[in-house]
Structure 1
Amino acid sequence: MALGSLPRFRRRQATSSSEVRNKESPRPSIDDPVTLKRGTRTRRNAIIISCFCYLVAAVFLILVEIGNTNGTKVLGDIYFFKLDLSDILPQAAPTSLTLQNSIARTLGLHDFYQVGLWNYCEGYETDGITYCSTPTNLYWFNPVEILLGELFAGASIALPSDVNDILNILRIASNIMFGFFITGLVLDFVLIFLTPVVLYSRWWSGFFGFFALLATLLVLIATALGTAMSLIFKYALTSQTDLNVGADVGTKMFAFMWIATGFTFLAFIIHASLCCCCTSRRDLRTGRKGGKHTNQATTNEKKGVSLPTFGRRTATSDA
């Protein structure tokens, strides 16, 4: 009787030891916050990086849009292009004019004119910016109207014919650029707060990825239009050598535009990659990725299924 009961005793001892082992190291549940946080760590880090990119892009877009709105040292240096008329050669000048510090002043013009997204500013080399026009929606710079309107009576300048030809193109491009910059800024700002939603599902990644692509295209097109417009305008004015007009593109404005474009594009790339990469919380709960074994183990535990252990097999063989 003692020998017959020995295998049964060993089997019970092995079972009890496996139960103790299972109690000491339970399998993690997919509903456990720690498990969810650990399983979606890569996706969460990617979301943080994309939100940071949207934030940087929004900051630089704000600088682009408020540039040249007043004559302060900071905003006054942010412009698309700047016309230097200090040494302009007039086509005709009345004899009653009094000579000033520059030819432009003598004719009634300012030494320079610089253009922003909302308005233009003018001033003199010695005094800096003296006047900025009122910011206007869908603003576009009309040099013919502004320059000819400031000339003294009897004075005239020969503006290049290319300027008159590109005025309509300049107006359309300026309006498109204005609308795209505003819309791109709004989308980037909104995506800063909505992007964390993609942590829960890949479907949300695809949904918000469309708006990320839209923001990228809007900012890219607006930046390309601003760059092309400034370069074309500069070429059209400086190509007339007998007018002696200088033109410079705004280095800060160009840098801010392209930095905003680059960060918006980078955020879109990260956003688009989340559609097919990095485990989401829905993936963990459905077992599609990263949570399959955990989900299966949790289901077995709920059903009361005990898995075989090496200790039990050894005890049986000894018996």
Structure 2
Amino acid sequence: MRLFSRRKPATPATTPDLTKDQIKRATRTRKVFSLLTSIFLLITTVFLILVEIGGTHKSGAIRNWFFLKLDLSHIVPTSVPNFALINTIAQTIGLHDFYQVGLWGFCEGYKGVGVTYCSKPETLYWFNPVQILKNELLSGAVITLPTDINDILDLIKIASQVMFGLFLTSNVLSFVLAFITPLSVFSRWASFAIAILVFLNALFCTTASIIATVMFVIFRNVIGSVQELNLSAQIGTKMFAFMWVASAFSIFAWLIQTGLCCCCASRRDVRTGRKRGSEKAYGMDGATGGVVGREGVAAEGDRDRVPEKPARRRFRSSKGT
């Protein structure tokens, strides 16, 4: 009778004991993209700061950064006799030539002189042209604004306050996340959690930009459609460029961070053997194709190779011999 020994189960190949330098080199691509995400978030922060400080001071380039510029310098149409004289009189009753709207307040001034005054920064500020013009007029002076402007004041208040909160939240999130995103190089779970925050940041910034664009474009069109008064409004191209550049870079940061959830090996992946990362990180033995471990000994073959089956050993029974 022949007896056969039980075959030992094949042991899975183990990942070579890599050094810290090898792990860092294997995850260098992931590190580059995480740092790129941080740079994009810092750019978002810078441009959101420009949006925040626009129209808060009457000197320097800041005074020319605004969402909307309301022009009252020709409030009386040219078809009215002595319109130039009447416009001059309009200044004497307290009206300024223009009013500029920022995130924290407004600025006012005269043509040929520039901005002469900016309001004190106010949290959750919203531009109320009716209230501002009433406060600007001297005692006893009255000016009637179109009813269309009065009808959208409530909408302007809500939209302005939501826009203010979203811009401020996105600014803080962008700054904090710029220093947190490099942690995604260690684990995919960290990348996933950070990606959620980066997505919320992009959502807040882009939503605020959309609200500002829609609100001030509608405001400009309503003012320009008035026939009784020769009012005009101008969109601030610099301010709009600032907020949309910030939105674009926040979206780029989110796309890259989302990609890190499934692409590029993390340090945890390399340690556990789930992914190898960059092959340049491994010292390859040209003769055997092994990977040099911590002691400098080449591990034969690839880690995924299944070990060869051990040869069967036959034993004969002592009976009958």
Aligned-partner SS, 1:276: coil
- Partners of 1:102 and 1:167 in 2: how far apart? 28
Aligned match of 1:21: none
- Report the counterpart of residue 223 of structure 1 in structure 2: 209
Give distance in 1, aligned partners of 2:69 and 2:192.
43
Deviates further, 154-163 or 199-208: 154-163
Residue-pair matches, total? 272
Aligned residue number for residue 212 of structure 1: 198
Shift of 1:154: 4.8
Q: Among 31, 42, 47, which residue is 1:44 paired with?
A: 31
Q: Distance in 2 between matches of 1:249 and 1:31?
A: 59
- SS state at 2:152 partner: helix
Give per-residue Cα distances to partners, 1:222-260, cap 9 Å, x unaligned. Answer: 111111111111111111022001100100000000000
Given residue 209 of structure 1, which amino acid in structure 2 is its aligned partner?
A
Per the alignment, do residues 204 and 241 of structure 1 end up closer, same or farther by CA in structure 2, a change over 3 Å counting?
A: same
Match status 1:186 vs 2:169: no
Counterpart CA distance in 1 for 2:75 and 2:90 is 6
- 1:148 lines up with 2:134 in the alignment: yes
Deviation at 1:36, TM superposition (A): 1.2
Partner of 1:17: none
CA deviation string 1:265-298 (max 9, x = no partner): 000000000000001000000100116997xx78
Task: Give the conservation status (yes or no) of the 8 Å contact 1:81–1:115.
Answer: yes
Which residue does 2:58 correspond to in 1?
Answer: 71
* Residue in structure 2 matching 1:242, options 210, 220, 228: 228
Structure 2 unaligned runs (5+)? 1-14, 78-84, 283-289, 302-321
Shift of 1:106: 3.4
Amino acid at match of 1:288: R
Q: Is the 8 A contact 1:47 1:199 kept in 2?
A: yes
Does residue 176 (structure 1) correspond to residue 165 (structure 2)? The answer is no
Higher helix share: 1
1:286 aligns with 2:251: no
* Aligned residue number for residue 102 of structure 2: 116
Q: Is the 8 A contact 1:68 1:116 kept in 2?
A: yes
> Structure 1 pair 242/39, CA: closer, same or farther in 2 (3 Å)?
same
Aligned position for 2:309: none
The one-character-per-residue Cα deviations of 1:70-101 (angstroms, maximum 9, x if unpaired) are: 111311011100000011129xxxxxxxx587
Q: For the residues of structure 2 that align with 1:202 and 1:114, how far apart are their CA atoms?
A: 47
Preserved CA contact (<8 Å) 1:85 1:111? yes
**8 Å Cα contact 2:148/2:222 also seen in 1:** yes
Over the matched positions of the two proteins, sequence identity in percent amounts to: 49
TM-score scaled by length of structure 1: 0.79
**Which deviates the most, 99-108 or 283-292?**
99-108
Contact 2:94 2:136 in 1 (8 A): yes
Provide the C-alpha distance between the structure 2 equivalents of 1:135 and 1:89, rounded to a whole number of angstroms.
31
**In structure 2, distance between residues paired with 1:130 and 1:110:** 10
Residues 306 and 55 (structure 1), Cα distance of their counterparts in 2 relative to 1, 3 Å cut: closer
CA RMSD after TM alignment: 2.8
Contact 1:85/1:104 (<8 A) preserved: no
Give the structure 2 partner of residue 85 of structure 1.
72
Is the contact made by 1:163 and 1:237 (CA closer than 8 Å) also made in structure 2?
Answer: yes
Q: In the alignment, residue 36 of structure 2 is paired with which amino acid?
A: I
- 233, 250, 275: which one pairs with 2:261? 275
Q: TM-score, normalised by structure 2?
A: 0.78
Of 258, 268, 281, which residue of structure 1 is paired with 2:244?
Answer: 258
Contact 1:213 1:268 in 2 (8 A): yes
In structure 2, what is the Cα distance between the partners aligned to 1:136 and 1:235?
26
Letter in 2 for 1:37: K
CA distance in 1, matches of 2:133, 2:300: 89
| SS of alignment partner, residue 79 of structure 1 | coil
The structure, 1 or 2, with the larger RCO (C-alpha pairs under 8 Å, 6+ apart) is: 2
- 3-state SS in 2 of match to 1:206: helix
Q: Distance in 2 between matches of 1:305 and 1:77?
A: 66
